[in-house]
Amino acid sequence: MASPTLTGRPGRDIALAFAGVVLFGGLNTIAVRQTVLELAPLWGAGLRFVAAGAIFAALAVLRGRAFPRGSGLRGAMVYGAIGFAGAFGLIYPALRDVQAGTAAVVIALSPLATYGLAVAQGQERFRRQAVAGAAVALVGTGVLFVDQLHAAVPLVPLGMVALGMLCLSQAGIVIKRVPRSDPFATNAVAMLTAGALLLAGSFALGEAHGLPTRASTWLGLGYITVFGSVVMFGLYLYGLQKWTASGMSYSTLLLPFVSVTFARVVTGEAITLPFVAGGLIMVAGVYLGAFASGRTRRSTATSMPECLPIADCAAGVAPARS
């Protein structure tokens, strides 16, 4: 039987997996914001990644997969230090002041940022279309930032989210340079490394280290650990097995729409017309610059924000090809 293609109609199981990735990934920033309203940021982030890393490690052992060694181990640790500890060490504190929907839209710039970093570091070829997309996305980002400043959102936390997004993007560049290994084992090493670094930073900064007392905090912490990390990643890998990398990569574009919609419904976050306009312009620019190239296989630039780069996600699962 021929492999399904991006232009073909995916089966119900693939559609459900794709929808699950979009839903669980889109709710992540909302869940994180619930945790930082009570827990100290680095402490909460450290707990999340230690717990998620332990689950990934258990899954890798149960699957009989080998853990990375040598340069692969070092690469996974650097990936965790930059992509999880660095990125979320900046994003978590910022979410005390920045709305979840706003953070999700800024993080959605990651595909274009990753492409720019990949070109600068010799991993991808320069494309004029990407420059055009970046210009469009820059206009949308400008509208978004001006709207948030009018809403009295401090500029520094917004900048921290943007820097966190750049860390996510650079992590995708780093992992492409190390030997491939089982994605669950690699994520286990990366998340446990990040958890240790975040907890160390938390103690160094003298944060409070109590356990949650609110039901909403426990719910948010449990959600981002299980559904926002492990389940989402598992669905992503399942989709890569059954469908194309190109098809699954489009989930990245849909995350901010889920985040903004649920943030408005669940937490009552304000959504202004300039915010919506800026977000739509920005996402259009990301699509033009990173997705609308006609390539049937996607690159590091179009991987999920909290997944390994798309080519490496599929390293041990034999993805379908167009």
The string of DSSP codes covering 90-102 is HHHHHTTTS-HHH
Distances (CA, A) of 189 to 66, 152, 172, 315: 12, 39, 15, 16
* Residue type for position 206: G
Cβ atoms of 76 and 176 closer than 8 Å:
no
What lies within 8 Å, CB to CB, of 113 at 6+ separation is 165, 166, 169
Per-residue confidence (pLDDT) for residue 250, from 0 to 100: 74
3-state class (DSSP) for residue 244:
strand
Per-residue confidence (pLDDT) for residue 61, from 0 to 100: 94
Return the number of other C-beta atoms located less than 10 Å from residue 33's C-beta: 22
pLDDT tens for the chain, 322 residues: list them.
333 444 456 678 888 888 888 899 889 999 999 999 999 999 999 999 999 999 999 999 998 888 988 988 998 899 899 989 999 999 999 999 988 888 888 888 887 787 788 788 877 777 777 778 878 887 887 887 777 776 777 889 989 999 999 998 888 788 777 777 788 888 899 999 999 999 999 999 999 999 999 999 999 999 999 998 889 888 888 887 777 666 776 777 788 888 888 888 877 777 788 888 888 888 888 778 766 765 545 555 555 556 655 555 544 444 444 4
Per-residue confidence (pLDDT) for residue 59, from 0 to 100: 92
Q: Is 23 exposed, middle or buried (0-12, 13-18, 19+ CB in 10 A)?
A: middle
Q: Which tokens in the block code for residue 302?
A: 């179009």
Q: Comparing C-alpha atoms, which of 75, 38, 24, 40 is closest to residue 181?
A: 75
Per-residue confidence (pLDDT) for residue 303, from 0 to 100: 58
Per-residue confidence (pLDDT) for residue 312, from 0 to 100: 52
Per-residue confidence (pLDDT) for residue 246, from 0 to 100: 62
Return the number of other C-beta atoms located less than 10 Å from residue 269's C-beta: 18
What lies within 8 Å, CB to CB, of 14 at 6+ separation is 4, 239, 242, 243, 247
Per-residue confidence (pLDDT) for residue 305, from 0 to 100: 58
Per-residue confidence (pLDDT) for residue 5, from 0 to 100: 41
Concatenating the DSSP letter of every residue in 68-88 gives: P-THHHHHHHHHHIIIIIIHH
- pTM for the structure as a whole: 0.82
Per-residue confidence (pLDDT) for residue 18, from 0 to 100: 86
Per-residue confidence (pLDDT) for residue 217, from 0 to 100: 94
Cβ atoms of 315 and 180 closer than 8 Å:
yes
Per-residue confidence (pLDDT) for residue 321, from 0 to 100: 42
Residue 51 and residue 28: Cα distance in Å, rounded? 16
Cβ atoms of 101 and 263 closer than 8 Å:
yes
Per-residue confidence (pLDDT) for residue 78, from 0 to 100: 92
What is the tally of helices (H) and strands (E) in the chain?
16, 0
Q: Comparing C-alpha atoms, which of 63, 30, 35, 26 is closest to residue 258?
A: 26
